[in-house]
Amino acid sequence: MRTVALIVAALVALSVAQKTPTRTGEKNVPLVGRVLADVSSLTFGAGLGPQHTTFVFAVEQNGGTRVEPVKVSYAFFKSEGPPPDSFFDYSKRYELQAVRDTKCDESVDSLSHVKNVDQSGKPLPPTDALRFLEGAPKDALKSDAILPCYVLRAGNYKVLSQDKQSKDTVDPKTGNLRLTIPIVASKLKQ
């Protein structure tokens, strides 16, 4: 009986060892805050792994009294796709479960511009690539700052809350004031 148990344990260990992730073995860390800006760059990857798209996230610190901007590399497979348009909404407060990856740290200046070259490889003026979300503070990023990078797997986030819209609307039929109710802890994945 004991021998059988040992064999079973060994087989389980072998199985687990084979399936242990090789690259992102690090633990997910929760990042609470808001999406600050999208990095409007075209390249997503050449396969043999997930594709990536990048955005800047303002992480709340000290109970929300200050924020630290970080770079988020959103990793997605073809079937999952990049984040939906509705994800890029500054009024939404998120919790991301992301993995720190020092290898993709990048300066704000570098993130802000996509280099352009002509077909002979000659450099051309760069294109502005940083697109601040509506309502996001544009002074939150200093161009010489190096942003720590986190890798976020597709769908590994949830909306904690959504701000009430700044302008409540009036229903044209009833004349009643239409209030926006904050969304609490709803899963955004679409």
In the complex, the residues that contact another protein under the rule CB under 8 A are 7-8, 11-12, 14-15, 18-24, 38, 40-53, 55, 73-75, 77-85, 88, 101, 103-104, 106, 114-119, 124, 127-129, 131, 151, 153
Q: Strand, coil or helix: what is 88?
A: coil
The least distance separating another protein from the CB of residue 13, rounded to whole angstroms, comes to 10
Of 58, 109, 53, nearest in space to 76 by CA:
53
User: Measured from the CB atom, is 85 or 171 closer to another protein?
Assistant: 85
Q: Quick one: CA dihedral 141, 33, 30, 157, positive or negative?
A: negative
CA 79/CA 103 separation, integer angstroms:
26
User: Measured from the CB atom, is 16 or 181 closer to another protein?
Assistant: 16
The least distance separating another protein from the CB of residue 69, rounded to whole angstroms, comes to 18
The least distance separating another protein from the CB of residue 10, rounded to whole angstroms, comes to 10
b/e per residue 156-189 (b: at least 16 CB within 10 A): bbebbebeeeeeeeeeeeeeeeeeeeeeeeeebe
User: Measured from the CB atom, is 63 or 125 closer to another protein?
Assistant: 125
CA 27/CA 21 separation, integer angstroms:
11
The least distance separating another protein from the CB of residue 14, rounded to whole angstroms, comes to 5
> Tokens 């044209």 correspond to what residue?
172
CA angle 19, 23, 28 (to 5 degrees): 90
User: Measured from the CB atom, is 51 or 162 closer to another protein?
Assistant: 51
User: Measured from the CB atom, is 117 or 181 closer to another protein?
Assistant: 117
The least distance separating another protein from the CB of residue 176, rounded to whole angstroms, comes to 33
